[in-house]
Structures are given as structure tokens and as C-alpha cells.
């Protein structure tokens, strides 16, 4: 369920935003291709909550892996599932719970200890629709000790419909399964 004014950490924001049941409808995920940036860097494009590999540009560097959740091995997926629910406080992150129940696609960004990404990584979230709806992308950053990267998330919306992009991007130190 959507947070309400009775939800403690949401009570002052709820009156300014017009969230209703129409927002719970997932947006279509075909028909558009992500915008390109005029700045150097890598990019990952999500359209209406679903990653579009053909519109994305990934780094090809040792110690850095960027994968869709659907492309993870069984062992990687098992290790990630243990971490997804353990990084956020369930009493304070109602939107994260909504995202966890509704996300259709996710992205794992893994940096081994000491890895340094040579350019910024832009994650572009594009939402569009002719009717109200929502998108729920999930991104998980698993950063090893002394690793470094610049991550920029950009949100683009087109159309006149009310749209909700409920993105969750927790970070965690590298788990033993990913080391």
C-alpha cells in the first residue's frame, strides 16, 4: 500500500503529492529508446522501470561488473536476495517495500575491492505513458573496500499523465559471495 499521512516519515509530504491507486498500475515498457547524454561516461537506460541493454553502454573493466538481475547466475542471485532485504530499515522505508513487491527489473553494480570506475556511470530513468502509472526499478551497488565510482541517476518524464518512478538504490559492502 502507498504511504498515507498516518505514516510517520511521510505525513508532511503526502498532502503535497497526489498519489492514488492509479499510480499502482505498471507502465508499458516498449516503444521508446533512452536519451543520450552529451557528457562522457557510461550509461544504463531504464524505460518505465525495465532496463534496455541496447540503449545502454557498460564499462569493460576488470573488477567492475554491471548485470541485470535476470542475467545473474544462480549463486549470484541467491547472494543478492539475502542482501536486498537487509540494507534498509523496514519501519522507515515504505516505498522500498512497495518497490520490492513490484519491481520488474533490477541492476547489480559490483565493484571488487580497490576497483575504480574511470568515468561516471549515468543511470537514466525514462518514464512515459498516456495514463497514470508507475515504474519500480531496483539498483543494488555492492562496493568493495577502497573501490570508487561516480553514480548519477537522471529522471526524465514525457507526456501529461501523472507518473511515479519508485527507484531504490541501496549500497552495501561486498559480501563474501561476491568477493
Three-class SS of residue 128?
strand
pLDDT score of 134: 83
- The CA-atom distances, in angstroms, between 11 and each of 44, 48, 68, 104, 109 are 33, 27, 34, 28, 33
Residue 177 scores a pLDDT above 50: no
Please enumerate, as own/partner, the contacts of 74-77 that have beta carbons within 8 Å and a separation of 24 or more: 75/177, 76/108, 76/177, 76/178
Please tell me which of 25-34, 104-113, 157-166 the model is most confident about, judged by mean pLDDT.
104-113
CB distance 123 to 139 below 8 Å:
yes
> What phi and psi, each to the nearest 5 degrees, are found at residue 7?
-80, 115
CB distance 136 to 169 below 8 Å:
no
Residue 32 scores a pLDDT above 70: no
Chain mean pLDDT for the chain: 78
Write down the pTM of the prediction. Answer: 0.75
101, part of any domain: yes
What are the beta bridge partners of residue 114?
none
Domain carrying residue 15: 8-173
Kindly indicate the confidence band of residue 17, based on its pLDDT and cuts at 50, 70 and 90: low
pLDDT score of 18: 56
112, part of any domain: yes
pLDDT score of 31: 46
Kindly indicate the confidence band of residue 63, based on its pLDDT and cuts at 50, 70 and 90: very high
pLDDT score of 19: 54
- Please give the angle made by the CA atoms of 151, 55 and 157, to the nearest 5 degrees: 70
Share of the chain above pLDDT 90, in %: 29
Residue 126 scores a pLDDT above 50: yes
Residue 90 scores a pLDDT above 80: no
3, part of any domain: no
Number of domains in the chain: 1
Please tell me which of 16-20, 33-37, 88-92, 166-170 the model is most confident about, judged by mean pLDDT.
166-170
Q: Output the DSSP codes for 41-90.
A: SEEEEEETTEE-GGG-B----TTEEEEEGGGS-HHHHHHHHHHHTTSS-T
pLDDT score of 119: 94
178, part of any domain: no
Kindly indicate the confidence band of residue 37, based on its pLDDT and cuts at 50, 70 and 90: low
CB within 8 Å of 11: residues ≥ 6 apart:
5
pLDDT score of 108: 93
1, part of any domain: no
What are the beta bridge partners of residue 51?
46
Residue 147 scores a pLDDT above 90: yes
Amino acid at each position: 500500500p502507498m504511504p498515507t499521512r498516518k505514516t510517520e516519515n511521510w505525513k508532511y509530504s503526502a498532502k503535497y503529492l497526489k498519489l492514488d491507486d492509479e499510480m499502482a498500475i505498471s507502465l508499458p515498457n516498449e516503444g521508446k529508446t533512452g536519451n543520450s547524454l552529451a557528457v562522457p561516461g557510461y550509461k544504463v537506460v531504464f524505460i518505465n522501470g525495465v532496463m534496455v541493454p541496447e540503449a545502454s553502454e557498460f564499462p569493460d573493466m576488470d573488477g567492475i561488473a554491471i548485470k541485470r538481475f535476470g542475467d545473474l547466475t544462480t549463486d549470484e542471485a541467491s547472494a543478492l536476495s539475502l542482501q536486498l532485504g537487509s540494507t534498509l530499515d523496514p519501519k522507515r522505508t515504505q516505498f522500498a517495500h512497495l518497490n520490492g513487491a513490484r519491481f520488474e527489473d533490477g541492476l547489480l553494480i559490483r565493484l571488487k575491492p580497490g576497483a575504480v570506475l574511470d568515468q561516471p556511470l549515468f543511470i537514466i530513468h525514462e518514464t512515459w505513458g498516456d495514463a497514470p502509472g508507475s515504474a519500480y526499478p531496483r539498483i543494488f551497488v555492492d562496493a568493495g573496500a577502497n573501490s570508487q565510482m561516480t553514480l548519477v541517476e537522471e529522471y526524465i518524464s514525457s507526456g501529461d499523465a501523472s507518473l511515479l518512478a519508485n527507484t531504490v538504490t541501496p549500497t552495501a559492502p561486498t559480501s563474501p559471495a561476491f568477493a
